[in-house]
């Protein structure tokens, strides 16, 4: 690979749209993890002590899944991104040092 090819590849990578990060923040017991459970089809909140999130977690959701859940509101051909990365956070005051 020549220097010109390497420079072109590097430029293409730096211009590529990366996955947006969505941080889910809120007070304790307001449904942050339950909302993400619905999106990812899981039951994480049911297994947590006192139904309170004990740690920060991340979930990558492909654009096809977002489009399927949004129905006619989202046309995947309108977007050029791989999906969304959701960060779930504890809402209890005890976790302010995370």
31-44, pLDDT tens digit by residue? Answer: 788 888 888 887 77
In a domain, residue 71? The reply is: yes
Residue 3 in domain: no
Contact 61, 84 (CB under 8 A): yes
The structure tokens 């990812």 sit at: 40
Mean pLDDT across the chain: 76
Q: What is the total count of domains within the chain?
A: 1
Pairing mode, strands 57-62 and 83-88: antiparallel
Token reading at 76? 């995947």
Q: Which residue has the tokens 């430029």?
A: 11
In a domain, 2, yes or no: no
Residue 25 has a pLDDT of 80
Residue 13 lies in a domain: no
Closest CA to 48 of 34, 27, 30: 34
pTM of the model: 0.66
The domain containing residue 48 runs over which residues?
A: 19-95
Q: What is the mean pLDDT of residues 79-88?
A: 87
């Amino acid at each position: 690979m020549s220097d010109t090819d390497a420079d072109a590849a590097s430029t293409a990578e730096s211009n590529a749209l990366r996955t947006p990060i969505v941080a889910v923040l809120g007070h304790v017991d307001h449904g942050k993890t339950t909302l993400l459970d619905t999106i990812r089809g899981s039951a994480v909140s049911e297994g947590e002590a006192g139904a309170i999130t004990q740690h920060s977690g991340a979930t990558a959701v492909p654009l096809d899944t977002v489009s399927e859940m949004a129905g006619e509101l989202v046309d995947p051909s309108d977007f050029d991104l791989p999906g969304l990365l959701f960060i779930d956070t504890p809402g209890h005051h005890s976790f302010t040092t995370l």
